[in-house]
Structure 1
Amino acid sequence: MAALVLGALAGCSDASGGTADPTAGATHKAAAPVRLPVPVPDGFATETGWSTSASPEATDVEPGSSGFPLVAVAPKSGLVIQEAADGSRVRAFSLSSGKTVWTFTPKVLTSVRAGVFVQEGKAGERVVLARQGKTSGSGLSTSRRTSTIDVIAADSAGKATAAHHLDLAVPDDTVVSFTATDSGILVGPVIDGVHEKAVAIDAATGVQRTVQKSTVTVSGCGSGSCAVQAFPAFATSQGVVSAFQQQDSCDQWAEGDTLCTYGFQVGDAWTSTSVAPSNMHVGIPLAATGPYLVTAWHTSDTQTDPPALSDTKKTILAVHDLSTGKIKAQVSCTSADALTLQPGSAQSSTRLSPNGDFLVSGQAGFDLATGRGHCFTSTAISKGIDLTAVADDGTAYGIVHVVDDTEATSLYGRLPIAQDGTHTPGHDSARVSMRSGTAQALPAAAEVPLYVASDGHGLFRTRDVLAVYPAS
């Protein structure tokens, strides 16, 4: 999401277009709200609501990680969380009114790249401020690279304080990124969606532990059991999800009887081979949200190429119970765009409706009550739709997928990372139904919401503006 760098009042904002301190302006006279420069779908009251100016987020250098989002939603607390682009300030707004609920000022870092995430636990929602930068090097201390984690309770008020602050030293030759779900975060280098070594952070306790690749024995691997190298992909409430690829005692060219297995393990709870659909030897963990894990399954490919969602082989996209592995909903899809399936690649586009009845992830949506899914992937005559949000009635929204030569557009489930936020010239948008599976093109240049609350409020963002509009 885009960074917010201007302070907003309830129902108003600084309309000057400048880059004021995000906590400034609480006493000045209210200005007219900054309006979105593009239309939004029917059903949202654009003449009311609140808005503020915004700046583009930093592009992540590690495709497949959770990147550096500067806006997040705490749904149960009813908050929009804003982080300044330089990581110097965090502000929590009431989703419905735009009123500032609390602010947080972290320790000073320079050359900062920052991201903000919201995680849910037994003690409630926690806001996780993750930053990369350098210490000041004041006094006798030398400047050094670091990654810091600050955890703030979402139900804070006024000037919030961090319940936990972690300072993780970063070697000069290491590019660190963040891999976050709504129940866990890993900090460390990312290659093809997995970590060779990372630090797992427990937002509830502040406890950190090192997780790294390990050798595990997997049953149901090929014709029996096999020892594989499992690499951490992302953290969840059921433990770290690790991905593995069988390389020994199987035919990597998929020409023999013993097919290689590509799978994953969820903490100590379950392994992909115990829940794989019939004849599916390739399982990729795409995302986690709430009590669910989203995966992709298909028959064995040659292990020299990454698995892909293509038009030559059907792929099953499934929603599993995170604690047991039981499949709650699934759909079989193909795609004319040949999108790479990578651990964690759909995390940024995976959303539950507030009531928990519907789930969208990448280009697929699911009605969890019925177990049915719908594909919004490309065909020879239609374009794919990257889904961004889903409401309690099953109405979902998305961006029409545009294929170019960048890794971001060839990676399944990753929302466009562009300097224009979600709205980039040439991107069309659509509204779809999770109940019927139908899709409808929206008017040209229409912006789609990134979140729709249970009361109908929609969160929208372009390059310059973030706005929240109530249902009309």
Structure 2
Amino acid sequence: MRQKIVRLALVGGVVFLALLLLLAAFGGSPGEEDGTPGGATAPAATGAAGGGPVTRLSVPPPYTTDRGWEIIGSSPEVAVSHTSGLLAYLERSAGDRYRLRTVDTATGRLGWRGQAWRPPDPLHYPRLATVARDDRQYFVTWSYGKVGDGMSPSSTFVSLDLYDVTDGARERVEVPWSGAPDVSTSGPGIVISDGRANSVLIDPVTATVSELSADELTYPKGCRACAQLTEVHGQTTGGLLVGGAREFWVNEGWFSRDVAPRGTDRTSGVPTSVTSGQVLARWSLDRKAKRARTHELWAVHDAASGKVVAAVECHRPAIEPGAYPQAVLSPAGDRLVAGNLAFDLKAGRGHCFEDESGVPHLTLATVTDDGIAYGAENARDASEALAGGGLPVSVDFATWTTDRLARDARLPLTETTGVGVFRWTDRQERAHLIGYPRSD
């Protein structure tokens, strides 16, 4: 496996030298733990996660617990490559080091694994995600921490490792960064943002790093709100997705005012979530609309063109949320859920799950290619639903109807290759990942 270290020189020579010192202290030498050249190593043919009897949980009816695979001691987050069927997770090893490992979800056999390394924040699991560009996929781990004595803003940085899904070839990128970073992997690149208008872009294929400051953004003509509370939300195939106090646009690309859904105030669009190919946005209804005071419209836009793919009206919340729910796509990308919203993108339909008074009564967390979503009533967010909080339910996209599941049913984190992936924690506080195949 090739290993490459890339740094962005945002500060002077002192920080550059400090990064070199930190690399010596934390990065280690390739293969130093295994005595092999730097690279991904293949496990034995019969991986420890091989199929067979596993812990039986209460799960939705489509899955069988008679067989499957199980991993003990995985990271809180996982990443999935639906094209290859590989699932990636992190395991902790001695000396506050971490290793990325993969498992074939269809068979339960272990795949390639990366070399162990120590992140700048060694006390917490690095974050884990998947990013795709030019038909190539990468697992990405990232962590934010300090270098040197931490006395100056330039002493903190973001360390990312990019693993080619096919063989585990790794590229390391280190970016000096001041303040907590906002990292987006919706693709086609990785965006590190300060929560405002300054950002750094990373091409996962070449590991090229480029900086884009606020004064380099282009603002749509006639949009005063665009220059207020400006924030980079992510990247699309056409460029950065940027939002202002109300309107949003793709830098040097399409403008929300030009793609506003029918019946809405064209200057009211606010992006709330970005996926690989879609932008979920909230719109105020036209002032002349009968329900303008009580309802708003949620629309899924094609990220490349801005065109509305599906939309639905919902009651305005009594109190604005502090953070909007993250949109989740089905493996094939035909369906999307976010909080109490569900969209069939292929059919161009949407549904808002709320009671007659307008109060959301469920939170959706997962959606499968066969049009079944899973979530929970009375759960604060998707994380709580997946952790077993609330009353678990399933939703049928064909009829927009809900069915109560067993009170103790666990919800799948994701489904791929016909296998649902579940998580639970045992009495020894060990995290388990379990793959249950579909019973049909």
TM-score (norm 2): 0.75
Q: 1:355 Cα shift?
A: 3.3
Partner residue, 1:120: 132
The 1:30–1:296 alpha-carbon spacing in structure 2 relative to 1, beyond 3 Å, is closer
Would the aligned equivalents of 2:226 and 2:244 in 1 still touch at CA under 8 Å? no
Residue 278 of structure 2 aligns to which amino acid in structure 1?
A: Y
Change beyond 3 A, Cα 1:29–1:286: closer
Q: TM-score, normalised by structure 1?
A: 0.70
Supply the AA of the counterpart residue of 2:432: V
Matching of residue 175 in structure 1 with residue 180 in structure 2: yes
Aligned residue number for residue 12 of structure 1: none
> Are 1:102 and 2:109 matched, yes or no?
no
Asked whether the equivalents of residues 234 and 240 of structure 2 are also in contact (C-alpha less than 8 Å), the reply is yes
> Deviations along 1:406-428, whole A, 9 cap, x unmatched?
xxx4xxxx633x6xx8224x422
Q: CA deviation at 1:170?
A: 3.7
The corresponding residue for 1:141 is none
The aligned runs of 1:1-400 (5 Å cut-off) are 35=55, 38-54=57-73, 57=76, 70-84=77-91, 88-105=98-115, 107-109=117-119, 111-112=121-122, 113=124, 114-134=126-146, 145-156=156-167, 160-162=168-170, 164-171=171-178, 174-190=179-195, 195-214=196-215, 216-219=218-221, 221=223, 228-229=227-228, 230-245=230-245, 262-277=246-261, 278-280=263-265, 281-299=267-285, 313-334=294-315, 338-340=319-321, 345-347=324-326, 349-351=327-329, 353-377=330-354, 379-380=356-357, 383-400=360-377
Question: Could you list the runs of 5+ residues in structure 2 that have no partner in the other structure?
Answer: 1-42, 150-154, 426-430
Which secondary structure state, in structure 2, belongs to the residue aligned with residue 148 of structure 1? strand
Q: Structure 1 439/54 Cα, relative in aligned 2: closer, same or farther at 3 Å? A: farther
Q: Secondary structure at the match of 1:273?
A: helix
Q: Does the residue aligned with 1:117 lie in a helix, a strand or coil? A: strand
Change (3 A) 1:441 1:331: same
2-structure distance, mates of 1:358, 1:29: 30
| Aligned twin of 2:10 | none
User: Secondary structure at 2:98's aligned position in 1?
Assistant: coil
CA displacement 1:17-76 (0-9 Å, x = unmatched):
xxxxxx89988898986525x41110101111111224674xxxxxxxxxxxx3111111
Shift of the alpha carbon at 1:437? 1.0
Q: Tell me the matched-pair count.
A: 376
For each residue in 1:304-361, what CA deviation from the matched residue of structure 2 results, as whole angstroms up to 9, or x when unmatched? Answer: xxxxxx996312111112111111111111266645275xx433x421x233332223
Aligned residues of 2:99 and 2:116 also touching (Cα < 8 A) = yes
TM-superposed deviation, 1:169: 2.3
Tell whether 2:384 aligns with 1:439.
no
Change in 2 beyond 3 A, CA 1:442/1:220: farther
In 1, are the aligned partners of 2:236 and 2:277 still within 8 Å (CA)?
no
Match of 1:256 in 2: none
* Sequence identity percentage: 25
Can you list the C-alpha shifts for 1:257-316, whole angstroms capped at 9, x where unaligned? xxxxx1111232211111113342321212233332221111499xxxxxxxx9963121
Structure 1 unaligned segments of length 5 or more: list them. 1-22, 58-69, 138-143, 246-261, 302-309, 403-408
Q: How far did 1:231 drift?
A: 2.1
Matches of 1:337 and 1:439 in 2, distance apart?
Answer: 24
- The farther-off stretch of 310-319 and 228-237 is 310-319
Q: What secondary structure is seen at the aligned counterpart in 1 of 2:205?
A: coil
Q: Provide the C-alpha distance between the structure 1 equivalents of 2:423 and 2:218, rounded to a whole number of angstroms.
A: 43
The answer to whether the Cα contact below 8 Å between 1:367 and 1:435 also exists between their aligned partners in 2 is: no
- Counterpart CA distance in 2 for 1:209 and 1:29 is 40
1:117 and 1:381, CA in 2 relative to 1: closer, same or farther beyond 3 A? closer
Q: CA RMSD in A?
A: 3.4
Q: Map of 1:407-426 to 2, 5 A cutoff? A: 409=380, 415-416=382-383, 422-424=386-388, 426=389
